[in-house]
Structure 1
């Protein structure tokens, strides 16, 4: 009930997974609650709406002062629809963050080639239009390793990611374009470091570690997340160089990296639907809320 004298809350939309996608149905509402709690600090309230409801028309989004695509988990399984939707949203003038163009190109890991060309260090990578056993066998020798990781260029949350040992037959190859990389033992030994930025400002850092016997750091596979009070300066420097190489204005970014024997390597620049790990953020997401508020005030 509205009470005179109380400030009116600004409503924004948060795009969520498809209603018929069961993969994350028990997890994304928890993350939405964290986002909503943070946004309340800036007197902003979030209205959840499935992204798949806005693929052929944008009228359901154009009325919002801001739309966030941060919970569109599973988009990679409907990538054609996703690209059509982001194009539509951009053309319709939907006030979406990150920009619709970013939501398009960042949904395909081939963007890593552009960042590598800009001087960003990434793991040694072989690019394939369709992985074959011959390519896998050649990659073992090329990278001088006994363990490889194969994953689609369009994926998320370790979806269809395969770990192979030398001599093992690839039986579940990703469909279409994929990347082949040497498995980095540091990923298991030290974990993956994620640095969160909102409105271009560093917010917090989290280290993610896989459970014993696994290599996937995501929570759905038993991964553990912990706040890092003071991330290494060279890790922060790498993240800042990644952000500087991206021309579009970003409301949010999660930069994932691993420290190898040769230094920090960029694993992903997550600009579409990253979990912000607000449960590990010392400020509970206040910096995120302030960045949203600043975007609304433009």
Structure 2
């Protein structure tokens, strides 16, 4: 998979089948020529079962969603697709929560984060792995989880109270 380091809704992102390395390289070169940072990461086939997004406020887990796969056609950059198809509330497993918390623990002063989103998928052994750690994220799926909106407001108020 090739994608820009800064993007939303898989904009300018595509996955490539084995043997299509030249196409992936052209994609990365296009991003670099635009002055953007290109990221290359393995495509996890079990993302077909859904990507999980775990949202944290002030370092505390708030809510999660699960969405359907986005990159359904190999080699296609489609900037007009629905960015989060089938997004619905999701109850993460203990392993998913542990993985997300470990990702946040790698951030210097994670308690200082007002919000964070950890995107996970399952690897071949069905273990959760981090796909993205979103620390500057416009979509926290607050419409899908009304309690998340309340928790976010509480986190903002708490951050203001301590002068962060």
Q: Same fold (TM over 0.5)?
A: yes
Other-structure match for 2:47? 187
Task: Give matches, 1:1-298, under 5 Å.
Answer: 149-168=1-20, 169-170=22-23, 171-173=26-28, 174-176=30-32, 177-188=37-48, 190-210=49-69, 213-214=72-73, 220-221=82-83, 223-228=85-90, 230-248=91-109, 249-262=112-125, 263-283=127-147, 285-298=149-162
1: CA distance between counterparts of 2:140 and 2:113?
A: 14
- Deviations 1:242-271 (Å, cap 9, x if unpaired)? 112212310101110101123111011101
How far apart are residue 186 of structure 1 and its match? 0.7
Unaligned residue ranges in structure 2 (runs of 5+): none
Kindly indicate whether structure 1 or structure 2 has the higher relative contact order, using CA contacts under 8 Å at least 6 residues apart: 2
Cα distance in 2 for residues equivalent to 1:151 and 1:181: 8
| Contiguous gaps of at least 5 residues in structure 1 | 1-148
**Runs of 4 or more above 2 Å deviation:** 152-157, 165-169, 171-175, 177-182, 210-216, 218-222
> How far apart are the structure 2 equivalents of 1:212 and 1:266?
17
Q: CA deviation at 1:205?
A: 0.8
Contact 1:211 1:224 in 2 (8 A): no
Alpha-carbon distance in 1 for matches of 2:154, 2:46: 35
Decide whether the 8 Å contact of 1:254 with 1:274 is kept in 2: no
Evaluate the alpha carbon distance shift between residue 274 and residue 257 of structure 1 in structure 2; reply closer, same or farther with a 3 A threshold: farther
Aligned Cα root-mean-square deviation (Å): 2.6
Cα deviations by residue, 1:103-160 (Å, 9 ceiling, x for unpaired): xxxxxxxxxxxxxxxxxxxxxxxxxxxxxxxxxxxxxxxxxxxxxx112333332122
What is the rounded CA distance, in whole Å, between the counterparts of 1:219 and 1:274 in structure 2? 18
